[in-house]
Amino acid sequence: MSDTRKTLPTDTSDGMLLVISGPSGVGKTTITRAVERTFPGSVFSVSVTTRPKTAADVDGVDYRFVTDSQFDTMIAQDAFLEWASVFGKRYGTPRAWVDEHLARGRLVILEIDVQGAINVKRHKPDAFAIFVLPPSEEVLLERLRSRKREAEDVIQRRFAEARREIAQAETCGIYDAFIVNRDLDQAISQAVKVVRDASVRRKAR
């Protein structure tokens, strides 16, 4: 797929792609948003999804909502950096948007699952990837229950998926840092530090 994006005089080569992953209930979204707020000019990638829009969703902010046929067209056009099917709905990261903001020298943040992170690293080996872990499986299960959003059978399904995802993350070899979220403020501070250190190392190369 050819790059038709217009080059600007302000384009730089020091943009950084940051991937943050972790199981449901581990607090990764809170950590991700805190990292985004800490680094001026950073941008959060909005995924394209086929899941139905809820009353709380804002199109283009939470997700970009498309039909199954539109998603199929984007796949055919190689428009995704990565995409995956989760609980019967599909989610994808738009390639052109990511490349554009990286060219502007920005920190581009993706919050995606392990399989998505593996695919991103395949296309963007220079991406920096963080995986957020719970202190223990017991704590994770309690956090899932404390959200009081879902029935117990759904919680158990999410818990089983979380255990599988953690095992995959620990063995796939693509994560640059693992952060255990025992205390949210400490986890945020650790995430900010490892991202800042990685950015400094890149600019020194």
Interval 99-104 mean pLDDT: 95
DSSP of 174-195:
--SEEEE-SSHHHHHHHHHHHH
Between residues 196 and 3, the one the model is more confident about: 196
- Is residue 10 domain-resident? no
- Is residue 132 domain-resident? yes
Report whether pLDDT(9) > 80. Answer: no
50: CATH? 3.40.50.300
- Is residue 11 domain-resident? no
Domain ranges, residue 132: 16-203
**Phi then psi for 59, rounded to 5 degrees?**
-60, 130
Instruction: Note the pLDDT of residue 6.
Output: 54
Exposure letters 53-79 (e unless 16+ CB within 10 A, then b): eeeeeeeeeebebbeeeebeebeeeeb
User: What is the C-alpha separation between 79 and 192, in angstroms, rounded?
Assistant: 30
Domain count, the chain: 1
- Is residue 85 domain-resident? yes
- Is residue 1 domain-resident? no
What would the two tokens of residue 175 be? 């994560």
Question: pLDDT for 112-136, tens place per residue?
Answer: 999 999 999 999 999 999 999 999 9
Question: pLDDT for 131-186, tens place per residue?
Answer: 999 999 999 999 899 988 789 999 999 899 999 999 999 999 999 999 999 999 99
Q: Tell me the whole-structure pTM to 2 decimals.
A: 0.86
- Is residue 7 domain-resident? no
- Is residue 6 domain-resident? no
